[in-house]
Amino acid sequence: MNIDIIEESADVLPEYARMPISFVVRSIFDVQLVDGGLKGVKLLERPVDVPWTKDYDAFRDEGPARWRDRWDISNWGVISAFVRGSRAGGCAIAYDTPGVHKLEGRKDIAAIWDIRVAPRYRGNGIGGRLVDAAVAWAERRGCRMLNVETQNINVPACRFYAKHGFTLGAINRHAYSEFPDEVELIWCRKIADRAPIPHAGSASTSTPC
Ligand SMILES: CC(C)(COP(=O)(O)OP(=O)(O)OC[C@H]1O[C@@H](n2cnc3c(N)ncnc32)[C@H](O)[C@@H]1OP(=O)(O)O)[C@@H](O)C(=O)NCCC(=O)NCCS
């Protein structure tokens, strides 16, 4: 599949929002504490009895077209994927934004705020290309870490992040008062230290970033 990845301005968010983010929950990760956590934490995948649809955009009408009303998104990045001219996927990256707790007030962390691939295009490598572009975007801003939040009910996304170099950074079993059965999982991808830029006139042959 021929996939074009481009960075766009936040003006496209209403169009971006037309791609559904919803997915079907067929299994969940139960978070099991061994000896209250003293002897470890396990994620155990369990099929649900009746599959159901989760739609993040439906929660308090919080879809991408509304982000501008809630946050100063002037430092954010929007990366889009197109297949034969059709919008097929997108990723929004939050960076250096007051009030976004996930960024911890640091300039060396960026967060994937949203990533979605239109249902008919899922499973074709588009999400992976968006993650690669998000990592490069964060690296250009000097970030050392790219984080993303998901939940134990989004098993495909967990597997997707793990496949793309993220590891579990935090588990919060009590994060969502509105969804007490859901567990927050923060996945983190380290961004490699940049190679030192050689001084002018240096004989080094390494390539500066
Ligand atoms: C998660 C998402 C962005 C991944 O994008 P994608 O283009 O489908 O993923 P890719 O094709 O690049 O990568 C596929 C890999 O991701 C994982 N994956 C993606 N969808 C999966 C699914 N339904 N079941 C199991 N694994 C899945 C697998 O590891 C898969 O690897 P494989 O092809 O070797 O089996 C996309 O499926 C999506 O839009 N999901 C709904 C929205 C969502 O959950 N967003 C994340 C919110 S935190």
pLDDT at 180: 94
Task: Give, for ligand 1, the residue of 29, 126, 147, 160 to mutate: max count of ligand atoms closer than 8 Å to Cβ.
Answer: 160
Which of the listed CATH numbers 3.20.20.150, 3.30.70.1140, 3.40.630.30, 3.40.50.720 matches domain 3-190? 3.40.630.30
Ligand 1 contact via 51 beta carbon (within 6 Å): no
Q: What angle do CA 138, 141, 143 make, to 5 degrees?
A: 60
- Ligand 1 atom nearest to 130, measured from its CA: 12
pLDDT per residue as tens digits for the range 65-102:
889 999 999 999 999 999 999 999 999 999 999 999 88
Ligand 1 contact via 107 beta carbon (within 6 Å): no
Ligand 1 contact via 189 beta carbon (within 6 Å): no
pLDDT per residue as tens digits for the range 140-192:
999 999 999 999 999 999 999 999 999 999 999 999 999 999 999 999 999 98
Other beta carbons within 10 Å of 46? 11
The one-letter amino acid code at 202 reads: S
pLDDT band at 202 (very low <50, low <70, confident <90, very high): very low
pLDDT band at 195 (very low <50, low <70, confident <90, very high): low
Where in the chain are the domains? 3-190
Supply the pTM of this predicted model: 0.91
